[in-house]
Amino acid sequence: MRTDTKTGLVTGGGSGIGRATSHVLAERGHHVIVADMNIDAADRVVAEIEHAGGVASSHQVNVCNDEEVESLFARIRDEFGGLDSAVNNAGITGPIGSIEDFDLGAAQTIFDIDIIAVFVCLQQELKIMLEQGSGSIVNLSSIWGLTAGANYAAYTSAKHGVSGLTRAAALETARTGIRVNALCPGFTVTPMLTDQGLKLKPGTPEFDDVGAMHPMGRLGDPEEMAQTISWLLSEEASFVTGHLMSVDGGFVAQ
């Protein structure tokens, strides 16, 4: 049975942009399903949301595992009876390096998580939303889904895939009551940035150099991403679909 509370899914909701987005969606009246392969992180975010007076449930899922993805969406159908908002956010940067030396196993992992799994989750979300005749989806692309980063070829390719997938899905669903958009963040201070890839630690010259690559002279904050994702999902963006929205301090304007 559906209730007045909206249901929102955030993959990779246990950390960084996904965590901030889970909080904002809960503040805006969603029962948030915080889905992450790291169940401890997802449980922590649920506890934070509940502490703040919101409603959330955790779900352990590796978005690359088809059976686990199916059981996530079976739960969404059975327990929540539908899905209003979905954020396909789980992703990795992977190692940084030139194409000729790039480890093919690492490239495959990046493609599996950053584009194939987004396609698989999107497919499940659309099946539910087409049945109910409504819904809104935001996929996490990147500035590297609009332009290219040297030494990020696999990630750049995957994120361009997310951008194309978003536009294709928006066209297919434009007359169905469903909207599909993508967020394209600039470098944003999350564990992905500090622990993966360049391993940029705040306070170091390298961190400041990456901030300076953005015309506004700094890196992004997960909260800034979450607010924009929430807007794209909301009725305030009712005529917005197929949009690749950069939130990047002017990075792609250069």
Active site residues: 155
Burial (CB count <10 Å: 0-12, 13-18, 19+), residue 113: buried
Q: Could you tell me the smallest distance in angstroms from the CB atom of residue 176 to ligand NAD?
A: 25
Angle (CA) 27-124-178 rounded to 5° is 60
**Binding segment toward ligand NAD, per CB under 6 A, in 85-93, 98-106, 122-130, 170-178:** 85-93
Q: Could you tell me the smallest distance in angstroms from the CB atom of residue 37 to ligand NAD?
A: 4
Residues 193-232 that bind ligand NAD (CB under 6 A): 193
Does 136 sit near ligand NAD (CB under 6 A)? Answer: no
- Identify which of residues 140 and 245 has a Cβ nearer to ligand NAD in the complex: 140
Q: Could you tell me the smallest distance in angstroms from the CB atom of residue 140 to ligand NAD?
A: 4
Burial (CB count <10 Å: 0-12, 13-18, 19+), residue 53: exposed
- Identify which of residues 29 and 191 has a Cβ nearer to ligand NAD in the complex: 191
Does 29 sit near ligand NAD (CB under 6 A)? Answer: no
Please count the other Cβ atoms lying within 10 Å of the Cβ belonging to residue 143.
23
Binds ligand NAD (CB under 6 A): choice among 33, 49, 121, 140: 140
Reference 37, options 109, 136, 126; nearest CA is 109
On whether the CB atoms of residues 63 and 113 are closer than 8 A, the answer is yes
Does 153 sit near ligand NAD (CB under 6 A)? Answer: no
Q: Could you tell me the smallest distance in angstroms from the CB atom of residue 163 to ligand NAD?
A: 11
Binds ligand NAD (CB under 6 A): choice among 142, 156, 163, 246: 142
Q: Could you tell me how many helices (H) and strands (E) the chain has, helices first? A: 9, 7
Which single residue is written with the structure tokens 């246990």? 14
Binds ligand NAD (CB under 6 A): choice among 81, 149, 177, 191: 191
How many Å separate Cα 28 from the centre of its chain? 18
Does 116 sit near ligand NAD (CB under 6 A)? Answer: no
Which single residue is written with the structure tokens 């194409």? 99
Give the separation between CA 17 and CA 21, rounded to whole angstroms.
6
Chain positions contacting ligand NAD, by CB under 6 A: 11-12, 14-18, 36-38, 41, 61-64, 89-92, 113, 140, 142, 185, 187-188, 190-193
